[in-house]
Structure 1
């Protein structure tokens, strides 16, 4: 049995860049926005770097697509299966339904197949060989797994596109939908690489002309990705769409495609502000990302399906 990590040295060791193939699970609110299908595709089509063990459907609500988290989670589950099919990766990994509600108590997990799978699956790993948990949605499933089985803290590395950079407000969709889950994750001491929205993955912008030039007419996957971007924008002339979630995958793809800092984990207040405390445990925080390199790699892979 590996003890739960309690010191920064062990935590930082787990956050060090690792070459080769990483075992990963992806937690995604796949139907909430157009960026998730790009990230799912990129992950599934990168076997030279990622061994995808499972994809979890995260809850979402508070937008025009779903008015309650259960509906959002069910929509996300169906979209994950759709992207798997378009990538010709049906059955390549397990797909699990996630939480049907958000955390109501920071000490009690929300039961779900996804949370239970992560809690059980992560126990097969170790600090020397961790499971990478890429989160691109609300943190409910991840937080529930941490609450259900705290020992996985020493067996996983969480890479979460959560809030904005720590000099800005954390008031971003993935945090404000389930603030308690975000607080659990940032307070848990789990090895965490925070991937900010503004002003890091906010650079992951593309537009319809670029998409049509790079992946247009290649295959069903590419045509679908272009279509959902077109449907998202009412007027696509001289317009760009941020593909935020692609950055969370891209920053693990190649060491030269992002720059990280090590900093203390901030508190997330109930008022949705970052509260810095320099006595807290250390985490990683992405500061820069190579937009062109990530899009080029993703487009080439998508076009070869």
Structure 2
């Protein structure tokens, strides 16, 4: 079978970097046709630079990076240096990128790629706020019927939120964008923190990753060790989840994940619960499902997969 063609829309972020590396380490299954960047974990200039550096770390400077939206659709930008460090990729030491940026805006890249491809052949993976994809849908609604699937890391329901009591970071940063996407009719799979909190990275796994000894593995281990410090402070544990790689894990091994089709609404009005993903898990509203919501995963098998795929990179 030909690999699934994917666009990665991202705001790196250490866990975004792991997602990108997992995709690049899986060329038989996933073809990364391009990367669009968005403001989120850190401002756009930095997320763009980080995406370039991660691609070059993996020896894939040939994959173009297209800077997208600098701010959310309606709200001011809220960033997460308190988690990821000032650079967004603290914990590693990567040289400046050598490849030039793509020659179009990230929103136009998404539109042009989807419209040029055969219908149903492009999957969009959103690892940050959904601003670029929402703006693409607003600018060219015809992409909705042509996208194979959108797989997003974002949201939470049973676990509440990780940025406010109700809202997960990616949705909270741009809830209006999420509302556009979730109400568009595009096929959706949501990987919320209800699932990703179970994707626990252990100290033993980190030691195994560093022991691989390649430049990619060593730099990735450094990123993860920095990222883990926030988990140590928040949860009081030496284990912490890597959220965004679960998107690629689902594409590679959907059998490792469990969930159900649900109706999901995005709260955009309440000052208390803005950004909440309201998941009708039990079907009480009788509204038609608009999203596959993942809730569980096989954590040991997921991390074995990620270690094996990262070990393939230089």
TM-score (norm 1): 0.80
- Counterpart-to-counterpart distance in 1, 2:212 and 2:114: 40
Partner of residue 98, structure 1:
68
Partner of residue 39, structure 1:
19
Map Cα deviations across residues 207-230 of structure 1 (whole Å, 9 max, x no partner): 344212244252111111111222
Partner of residue 226, structure 1:
221
Partner of residue 81, structure 1:
52
- Counterpart-to-counterpart distance in 1, 2:289 and 2:258: 20
Map Cα deviations across residues 262-297 of structure 1 (whole Å, 9 max, x no partner): 122324342224455433453211122222222111
Map Cα deviations across residues 162-204 of structure 1 (whole Å, 9 max, x no partner): 101368455010011111111111111111111111x211111
Structure 1: gaps spanning 5 or more residues: 1-18, 67-71, 106-111
Map Cα deviations across residues 92-139 of structure 1 (whole Å, 9 max, x no partner): x2211010111029xxxxxx7111110111113455x33100111001
- Consecutive aligned runs of 4 or more in structure 1 exceeding 4 Å deviation: 166-170, 234-238, 274-277
Partner of residue 165, structure 1:
157
Judge conservation of contact 1:179–1:270 (CA < 8 Å) in 2. Answer: no
- Counterpart-to-counterpart distance in 2, 1:26 and 1:138: 12
- Counterpart-to-counterpart distance in 1, 2:225 and 2:264: 38
Q: Secondary structure at the match of 2:197?
A: helix
Instruction: Identify the range of structure 1 (204-213 vs 172-181) with the bigger mean alpha-carbon deviation.
Output: 204-213
Partner of residue 179, structure 1:
175
- Counterpart-to-counterpart distance in 1, 2:159 and 2:263: 13
Q: Secondary structure at the match of 1:36?
A: helix
* Aligned counterpart for 1:295 among listed residues 300, 303, 307: 303
- Counterpart-to-counterpart distance in 2, 1:94 and 1:250: 23
Partner of residue 153, structure 1:
144
Partner of residue 197, structure 2:
202
Partner of residue 4, structure 1:
none
Aligned residues: 267
- Counterpart-to-counterpart distance in 1, 2:114 and 2:158: 29
Instruction: Identify the range of structure 1 (269-278 vs 292-301) with the bigger mean alpha-carbon deviation.
Output: 269-278
- Counterpart-to-counterpart distance in 2, 1:82 and 1:132: 23
Query: 1:248 aligned to 2:247?
Result: yes
- Report the alpha carbon displacement of residue 27 of structure 1 after superposing the two structures with TM: 0.7
Judge conservation of contact 2:198–2:296 (CA < 8 Å) in 1. Answer: no
- Counterpart-to-counterpart distance in 1, 2:226 and 2:159: 33
RMSD between superposed Cα atoms in Å: 2.4
Relative to 1, partners in 2 of residues 1:218 and 1:118: Cα closer, same or farther, differing over 3 Å?
A: same
Judge conservation of contact 1:122–1:131 (CA < 8 Å) in 2. Answer: yes
Partner of residue 113, structure 2:
121
Judge conservation of contact 1:186–1:266 (CA < 8 Å) in 2. Answer: yes
Judge conservation of contact 1:215–1:299 (CA < 8 Å) in 2. Answer: no
